[in-house]
Amino acid sequence: MAPKLAVLAVLASLLGAVSCEFLSIYDGYGFPLPNPNQPFKLPPASPPKNPRPDLKVGYYAANKCPQAEEIVKRAVKEATPGEKAGLIRLFFHDCFVQGCDASVLLEGPDTERTAFPNLSLRGFNIIEKAKAALEVECKGIVSCADIVAFAGRDASYSLSDRKINYQVPAGRYDGKVSRANDTFLNLPPPFGDLKTITDMFAAKGLDQTDMLVLSGAHSIGRSACGSFANSFSNRLLPDNSSTAMNRTLADQLNTTCTANSINVPQDYETANELDHQYYKNVQEHNVLFTSDAVLLESPETKVLVDSFARDPFFLSDIIPIGRNPWYDAFAKAMVKMGNWEVKNSTVGEIRQFCGKVNDKTY
């Protein structure tokens, strides 16, 4: 009983209140009971698969819904900056669990959407709005999985001031399975070390460079204080380690974080901009999560952080010369991630409503 209570205390610090049903799920992370003298290690990641999805750019233009991408773009344009940041995160959380199949959108007990890493997800309303418009325009043609992928691209374009723009190969089908347990086995934890995070990305066909590039999405959005300041992993305590948070930021957050549920910007410099400021923050130890701080832990990752942190040169203070390589790298990594474990018509469907599997009458 004592070990179970110890784990419950950890989860309660992360969420404020958690039911006992999460105890066995948390064991899926592979962590032993909290021990301050012993680092936490996840099990080795499974070998990466070789995804070969039959996806095509312009898929809907040739498949009875030429306005599909434009309809999604209009829905995203009306979203708030916070919702746009949520759409990028939604795409990530979808692809890392069950593949890019919109399983994260399914409602109901014990679905991915109910798991505590997903309780703060945003943007569902934007996806549903786009889907409703698409069902009017071309009923039964556009999958929710493709809507999530398009929305992630359009949100990136908007929040990066048009610096991130790429074509999205489409043709995904929607999955029929969504399990809360799977999120714990697949989503990289914010307290993970470099090997843990690298291995978990590798399990999705993404290499260490992809991991570092996609981590740049932490330049936008907000995070609950409980995700980085709790009895399991408290980044706000004085720390002499190489991953310690900058004390100025830690002191500021100690004042702000009076409860685990309080949300704070992940990037205090450019909170609503998807930009390379994140890598400057990593250099200066002004990041919330251990999984961000560890990017300085190896020569290979540090050189990339330093490269992405550089500003372009300017002529007369107004004309930029050159372009930071992170923006194009992010676009390529988003496309690569979007290829993972794509469903086809044999195992998937085109949902009528993104929140539920089709009934037999649709």
As annotated, the active-site residues are: 93
Read off the tokens for 324: 């930071």
Which residue do the tokens 């930071």 mark? 324
Q: How many CB atoms are closer than 10 A to CB 19? A: 9
Helix (H) or strand (E) run with residue 318 in it: none
**Spatial separation of the C-alpha atoms in residues 357 and 144, rounded to whole Å:** 11
One-letter amino acid of 254: N
Angle ∠(19,25,26) on CA atoms, nearest 5: 90
Tell me the C-alpha to C-alpha distance, in Å, between residue 97 and each of 14, 45, 105, 113: 21, 14, 12, 11
Q: Indicate the SS3 state at residue 319.
A: strand
Question: Which 8-state DSSP code applies to residue 315?
Answer: E
Write out the H or E segment, with its range, that includes residue 263.
Answer: strand 263-265
| 330 closest CA partner among 276, 267, 266 | 276
Beta bridge partners of 224: 263
- Amino acid, single-letter form, for residue 25: I
Token match 């702000």: residue? 256
The one-character DSSP state at 246 is: P
List, in order, residues 6 or more apart from 24 with CB less than 8 Å away.
none
Residues 6+ apart with CB under 8 A from 274: 85, 88, 156, 159, 160, 164, 216, 217, 219, 220
CA distances (Å), origin 296, targets 5, 8, 57, 93, 217: 35, 32, 36, 24, 17
Q: Which residues lie across from 234 on neighbouring strands?
A: 229
362/351 Cα distance (integer angstroms): 9
